[in-house]
Chain A
């Protein structure tokens, strides 16, 4: 079974600060996705990265896929209270066409 470890598990910061969330594995994934989940809701896709070394930007969010396709990071610039939520990384197992999820990073941004 492929495993994904996320760090940190919890993060509480002030509005305006920057932060980085990490997603690491000993396995290679065909692609990696980042989701955001709010209380009482299902996860919602933020981005998919496919190529080793790929960097994608979504407004204040920057996603990077490691060269070896085993790790990824999510960087948020100037965090806002609306960024509060559970961030999940998920690797695509092409053998099963199913996602393996990390345990998540719970982010709270204080105004």
Chain B
């Protein structure tokens, strides 16, 4: 069965370190997204990609970067981790189905920056 997986599921890192969160999908979807989820804010869009070599900034992109070298993967990098980036991160993918597009989410990565 097709799926979307994130790794690691839990990560503790120190302030100032570079951290990369992995996202891998086997749906062969063109669109991939990274969100962060914090209490009281729902899910907020960090970065998204429509296809290989395409990346775009979302509402809360400062301090984060992504790259899309193939269809399956969209790794999220925190250039210099800050305590404000402690959060749960979700990756999602969807097809180009327009109005009815369904997004499939990974199980999330809980990141703690100390």
Contact = CB atoms under 8 A, between A and B. Distances in A.
B99 interface: yes
Interface in A44-98: 44-45, 48, 50, 88, 90, 92, 94, 96-98
Interface string B41-53: 1111100101000
Contacts of A1: 59
B107 A41 contact: yes
B1 to A, nearest CB: 15
Contacts of A88: 42-43
Interface size, B (range): 20 to 34
A6 to B, nearest CB: 8
Chain A at the B interface: SS class: loop
B99 A98 contact: no
B44 A42 contact: no
Contacts, number: 63
Interface in B5-54: 31, 33, 35, 40-45, 48, 50
B101 interface: yes
B92 interface: yes
A48 B100 CA distance: 7
B92 A42 contact: yes
B92 A97 contact: no
B103 A45 contact: yes
A111 interface: no
Nearest to B102: A45
6 contacts: A44-B105, A45-B104, A48-B100, A50-B100, A97-B31, A100-B45
Interface of B: 31, 33, 35, 40-45, 48, 50, 56, 58-59, 90, 92, 94, 96, 98-108
Interface of A: 1, 4, 6, 9, 30-31, 33, 40-45, 48, 50, 88, 90, 92, 94, 96-104
